[in-house]
Amino acid sequence: MRKFPRKGGIIMKITIGCDHGALALKDSVKEVLTALGAEIDDVGTFTEDSVDYPDIAEKVCAAVREGRAERGVVLCGTGIGISMAANKIRGIRCALCGDVYSARMARAHNDANVLALGGRVLGPGLAGDIVRAFFTQDFEGGRHARRVGKIMALEEK
């Protein structure tokens, strides 16, 4: 088990995947995650051939759901489609983040377990800051745990 620099930020494995709209951003995000000390499993895609983002979301989220990864990162052109797909999967709380504050709050208040990013929206600098915020912030629990519990209960309705 490796520790991220920030207190309490312990990450063992992160699964990442993108469609053809986010290849370059996925590579730069992997560099940031590696620098943070993460073990990364990249489920693709690896070429610019067109692929369907729900298939990528399914692969990444299966790893998180089954405990093979502690958290996931999914990327498509906007991050919208792949985050929508991810949030259809039981047990997944995927947050599409385009700013650092949202990334921090997605962890602190929503206990997000998957981060979504838009490869045609974000540059590598901002994306790196978002990734660092997301992966070094702990869930605050307390009243937020009750609310997250209510989110998860919606899966049964």
* Of the residues 53, 60, 61, 72, which one makes contact with ligand RB5 according to CB under 6 A: 53
Binding span for ligand RB5 by CB under 6 A among 75-83, 86-94, 98-106, 145-153: 75-83
Per-residue interface string for the shown chain with ligand RB5, residues 10-29, x marking contact by CB under 6 A = ---------x-x--------
With beta carbons less than 8 A apart as the criterion, state whether 93 and 112 touch: yes
At its nearest, how many Å lie between ligand RB5 and the CB of residue 7? 35
Long-range CB pairs of 62-66, under 8 A, 24+ apart, other chains included:
62/89, 63/15, 64/15, 64/91, 64/92, 64/113, 64/114, 65/89, 65/90, 65/91, 65/92
Residues that bind ligand RB5 (CB under 6 A): 19, 21, 53, 76-78, 80-81
